[in-house]
Amino acid sequence: MKTYVAQRLGIGLLTLLGMSIVIFGMLRLAPGDIVDILFSTGGYVNPAERAAIERELGLDRPVWVQYVEWLRQIVTGDLGKSYRYDLPAWEIIRPLIPVTLELAVLSLVVSVLLGVPFGVISAVRQDTGLDYVLRVFSLAGLSMPSFWLGMVIILSLVAWLGWIPPVTYVSPTENFWLHAVQFALPSLAVGYRSSALIMRITRSSLLEVMREDYIRTARAKGQSGSVVIWRHALQNAILPVVTVIGIEFAFLIGGLVVTETVFNLPGLARFLVEAILWRDYPIVQNLVMFIAIVVILSNLVVDMLYGFLDPRVRYGN
Amino acid sequence: MKRSRTASAQVLVLAAGLGLGATLASAQTPKSGGHLNVMLREDLAQGFAVHESSTISTSFPSLPCFNNLVFFDQLKRPETPDTLVGDLAEKWSWQDSYRNLVFFLRKNVKWHDGQPFTSKDVKHTFDMLREAPDAPAKLRINPRKDWYANVDAVEAPDPHTVVFRLKRPQPGLLNMLASGYTPIYAAHVNPATYRTSCIGTGPFKVKEWRKGEYVDYVKNPDYFVKGRPYLDSLRYVVIKERGTRIAAIQAGQLDISFPGETTKTAAEQLKKAVPQLVITPVAQAVSDNIIMNVKKPPFDNLKVRQAVSYAIDRRGLIQAVHQGGAVAGASMQPKPYGVWGLLEKDLAALPGYGKAEDMKARARKLLGESGVTPQNPLRVEMATRAIAIYVDMASFVINELKQVGIEASLKQVETAQWHAMATRGDYQIGANLTGLGVDEPDANYYENYACGSPRNYSQYCNEQVMKMIDQQSQELNPQKRLQMLTALQQKIEEDAARPILDWKLDYYTVWPHVKNLVPHDNIYNFGRMADVWRDK
């Protein structure tokens, strides 16, 4: 197992190196840079002033020099300075991480709490009225864009109740209940959409497993319905669901931009989009690398869970 | 609106020391204390570095931190020479036939870090702005350098006196000094520092700037106006999503809207949902306009440019794009919102303001004379910023042009590339928005129409027009100046240098417990917050 984990981490490092080249290259390929944005806030462009700012920010150096410098900074734990805010990138990024992580985790919890039971019920009650209702429910979740759903929630609340969740971030230590309220709605909006996918995967995976011989054997041996489903069938059907959950979590980290924007939560995803629009290279590069690390680690955790859930899976052999 | 009094009244002005006009906006007795939440639609673009920015996203949230030499009375809506009051200057005096402007500064004013404010700070600020050879500091970006092209020297003969020595008379300089874009920086603070924090003399001190989230201000207990500010604190909240912003003010989580943010439609929705909201229609000093590259075909042809101007039905645009939330005008904001704008009768004779069909017929005729016919249409690419308010306007214009034989395709340009593209002249025709930092012809014309100005995106250069700009700039008699400006505006519209389509209105929204926040007919020059109080 240790060998397997070490191998995966090694491959992960190589993946990150490749990602760094892609991120770095794609950013430079996008038209315009921070200097263009700074001048756009001034409403004009002056070539001499432009050259001076490029020198100040080190953007006049060859691209490969800038890349090597960035790698050196990462390795030494220095994430550089934001071009826009002229502050250490880590100082800006650090407070955003807990917000996005919390929203992603809560959304995932909602999606699993809704998706797995609904998927099981839908599979067990296949082709009944309840199955159709749940399938429509899941299709609706997949069809609704999250920004639309979020906006509908906000507008409905303000129209009916004259109230919306707080528009400035409330930390749990500041006011736990207000914090809970602030995160409940976006988690539900995102979780509902994710639950649709989990529900469908659970349903189809369970239907496949329930046709297996050992399930028929378990029934024949007199096992109750719930034991057959929850102990025998689901345990074997859960692997694809775990994979999807892992993928969803990784997607959520970077994909919450619309939800964070609509609900005005100061998270990574929203800030990343802003940094891209500003061509704030240090922030974008480091944030994308962070998301890449999360994706790699979450895939590793999912694979480790396989070994836990399915005794037939052994790593390192 | 009353025109300003004679020029002689401007020779020596004694400013009220307290910054209160003769009439308070609210008749109630102000209450001290309380907090207000103010809307921001995006994070501060360049921190508090107002001199390195031309966007309201920097200037508006920075206003409470700073003071100017002079400012427009915050309790009066019009911005005219009559409503100028002293800010850091107690009084001022024009001398030597408007060639020297002397300011007598307040005493016992402190910067937020406790350092004393003196004339050295004023000299430092304006030497930096005009890029004097011996300026002690340099701005990284200096968008309003042209405002001070006529300033020959700034002298500080003693700690409380400043003298602006001008190359020639320029009565309009005082208005430019009163713009929200002309605060005084501290000489002992590196100008780069303002990109991350704010050391000012203003009624509020920055407590915290949480990037992308909010700016927190606390009352400045040492503010030079005793008893001000009334409020204990302010929070400027960043909300990027427009629907969420409107919901936030409707739900009462924000007390004050962002200038220029509330359209007529949004205002109607808000008023219906919350009848007690106070909504005031005001002008923004922001115009929709068309830029045409006069150096390249086809818009190097005057007739083609005129045809474009004739083709666009201004009043139709105001209804279709702004639902009536804009007014027609030429290159200066029209009356009653601005001092120098054309009257309705003068507008009627200009391209695009008459009957739509007649105007379009005229456009077709002009195009026909230039070889453009229905069988041989003119094909152009219209560039605009990839922002909804630009795209909406551009779409309307494209449709208007199609009706006269100009086939325009829309090219949306990301903000990062827009100004570089426009400054380089790397376009044919564009749909543009322009904000005027102050209702002062010098600020407008030297920036947007003068030969060689980097913000003269059309690259328009007309010697006769330059002479007219210089002449009006030196005219001391306001009535004569107005006549000159009427002729100048007409000339510019006839030349189709940068056809103005409309001047936008704002439906400024506050909750009724917000008192003494009087919106002006210019989004850049109100919001100091020193006199604002909370009635709850």
B440 touching A, CB under 8 A? no
All residues of chain A having their beta carbon less than 8 Å from the beta carbon of residue B269 are: none
Cβ-nearest to B247 among A155, A168, A279: A155
SS3 B147: helix
Question: What secondary structure letter does DSSP report for B144?
Answer: T
Residue B112 clears pLDDT 90, i.e. is over it: yes
Residue B198 clears pLDDT 90, i.e. is over it: yes
Scanning A272-301 for CB atoms below 8 A from B yields: 274, 277, 279
Contact across the interface for B141 and A31, Cβ inside 8 Å: no
Which region among A30-39, A199-208, B21-30 has the lowest average model confidence (pLDDT)? B21-30
The CB-based long-range contact list for A162-167 (8 Å cut-off, 24+ gap) reads: A162/B250, A162/B251, A162/B252, A162/B273, A162/B274, A163/B251, A164/B244, A164/B247, A164/B248, A164/B251, A164/B253, A165/A263, A166/B253, A167/A264, A167/B237, A167/B239, A167/B244, A167/B248, A167/B253, A167/B254
Residue B1 clears pLDDT 70, i.e. is over it: no
SS3 A68: helix
> Which residues, in sequence order, are CB contacts of A238 under 8 Å at separation 6+?
A205, A309
Contact across the interface for B251 and A52, Cβ inside 8 Å: no
A44 touching B, CB under 8 A? yes
Nearest CA in chain B to A53: B140
Contact across the interface for A166 and B417, Cβ inside 8 Å: no
- Kindly report, residue by residue over A240-286, the tens digit of the pLDDT: 888 888 888 888 877 888 899 999 999 998 999 999 999 999 999 99
B190 touching A, CB under 8 A? no
Residue B376 clears pLDDT 90, i.e. is over it: no
A51 touching B, CB under 8 A? no
Average pLDDT over every residue of A64-88: 91
All residues of chain B having their beta carbon less than 8 Å from the beta carbon of residue A38 are: 46, 140-141
* Contact by Cβ (8 Å): A152, A168: no
Contact across the interface for A261 and B240, Cβ inside 8 Å: yes
Give me the pLDDT at residue B150, please: 96
Residue % of chain B over a pLDDT of 90: 88
All residues of chain A having their beta carbon less than 8 Å from the beta carbon of residue B251 are: 157-158, 162-164
Single-letter amino acid code for the residue at B456: N
B214 touching A, CB under 8 A? yes
Query: Which residue did the predictor score with more confidence, B434 or A234?
Result: B434
Residue B197 distance to chain A (closest CA, Å): 10
B253 touching A, CB under 8 A? yes
Residue A312 clears pLDDT 80, i.e. is over it: no
All residues of chain B having their beta carbon less than 8 Å from the beta carbon of residue A264 are: 238-241, 244, 248
Give the strand order in the sheet containing B151-158: B12-14, B89-95, B100-105, B161-166, B151-158
Cβ-nearest to A36 among B210, B240, B420: B420
Contact across the interface for A41 and B55, Cβ inside 8 Å: yes
φ, ψ for residue B201, nearest 5 deg:
-115, 5
pTM over 0.95: no
B416 touching A, CB under 8 A? yes
What confidence tier does B4 reach under pLDDT thresholds 50, 70, 90?
A: very low
> Which residues, in sequence order, are CB contacts of A294 under 8 Å at separation 6+?
A250, A253
Residue B503 clears pLDDT 60, i.e. is over it: yes
Pairing of strands B12-14, B89-95: antiparallel
Task: Give the A:B interface size as CB pairs under 8 Å.
Answer: 140
Average pLDDT over every residue of B62-70: 98
Contact across the interface for A42 and B273, Cβ inside 8 Å: no
Contact across the interface for B211 and A39, Cβ inside 8 Å: no
- Kindly report, residue by residue over B289-329, the tens digit of the pLDDT: 999 999 999 999 999 999 999 999 999 999 999 999 999 99
C-alpha distance across the termini of chain A, in Å: 8
B430 touching A, CB under 8 A? no
All residues of chain A having their beta carbon less than 8 Å from the beta carbon of residue B239 are: 167, 264
Nearest CA in chain A to B210: A92
Residue B6 clears pLDDT 70, i.e. is over it: no
Contact across the interface for A41 and B240, Cβ inside 8 Å: no
Residue B11 distance to chain A (closest CA, Å): 34
Average pLDDT over every residue of B167-190: 97
Nearest residue to A97 via CA among A276, A260, A299: A260
Structure tokens at B514: 């917000």
Which region among A144-158, B72-86, B154-168, B329-343 has the lowest average model confidence (pLDDT)? A144-158
Give me the pLDDT at residue A228, please: 81
Residue B6 to residue B82: CA distance in whole angstroms: 10
- Kindly report, residue by residue over B432-461, the tens digit of the pLDDT: 999 999 999 999 999 999 999 989 999 999
Mean pLDDT over each residue of chain B, to the nearest integer? 93
Contact across the interface for B247 and A261, Cβ inside 8 Å: no
What confidence tier does A316 reach under pLDDT thresholds 50, 70, 90?
A: low
What confidence tier does B5 reach under pLDDT thresholds 50, 70, 90?
A: very low
Residue B470 distance to chain A (closest CA, Å): 22
Scanning B139-168 for CB atoms below 8 A from A yields: 140-143
- Kindly report, residue by residue over A285-301, the tens digit of the pLDDT: 999 998 888 888 888 88
A263 touching B, CB under 8 A? yes
B237 touching A, CB under 8 A? yes
User: Phi/psi zone of residue B129: left (φ > 0), alpha (ψ -120 to 50 degrees), beta?
Assistant: alpha
A238 touching B, CB under 8 A? no
All residues of chain A having their beta carbon less than 8 Å from the beta carbon of residue B253 are: 164, 166-167
All residues of chain A having their beta carbon less than 8 Å from the beta carbon of residue B52 are: 41-42
A163 touching B, CB under 8 A? yes
Cβ-nearest to B143 among A43, A154, A279: A43
Residue B358 distance to chain A (closest CA, Å): 36
Contact across the interface for A159 and B196, Cβ inside 8 Å: no
Scanning A86-145 for CB atoms below 8 A from B yields: 86-87, 92, 95
Residue B13 clears pLDDT 60, i.e. is over it: no
All residues of chain A having their beta carbon less than 8 Å from the beta carbon of residue B142 are: 42, 49
Contact across the interface for A162 and B251, Cβ inside 8 Å: yes
Average pLDDT over every residue of B417-442: 94
What confidence tier does A315 reach under pLDDT thresholds 50, 70, 90?
A: low
All residues of chain A having their beta carbon less than 8 Å from the beta carbon of residue B43 are: 274
SS3 A104: helix
Contact across the interface for B211 and A85, Cβ inside 8 Å: yes
Give me the pLDDT at residue A313, please: 64
Average pLDDT over every residue of B380-391: 94
Average pLDDT over every residue of B235-242: 96
Mean pLDDT over each residue of chain A, to the nearest integer? 88
Average pLDDT over every residue of B407-429: 92
* Contact by Cβ (8 Å): B15, B70: yes
Q: Which helix (H) or strand (E) holds B171?
A: none
Cβ-nearest to B419 among A44, A162, A167: A44
For an interface test with B, the pick among A99, A168, A258 (most B C-beta atoms closer than 10 Å) comes out as A168
Half-sphere exposure of A150 (CA within 13 A, CB side): 25
For an interface test with B, the pick among A27, A28, A40 (most B C-beta atoms closer than 10 Å) comes out as A40
Residue % of chain A over a pLDDT of 70: 98
Single-letter amino acid code for the residue at A75: V
A46 touching B, CB under 8 A? yes
Contact across the interface for B240 and A52, Cβ inside 8 Å: no
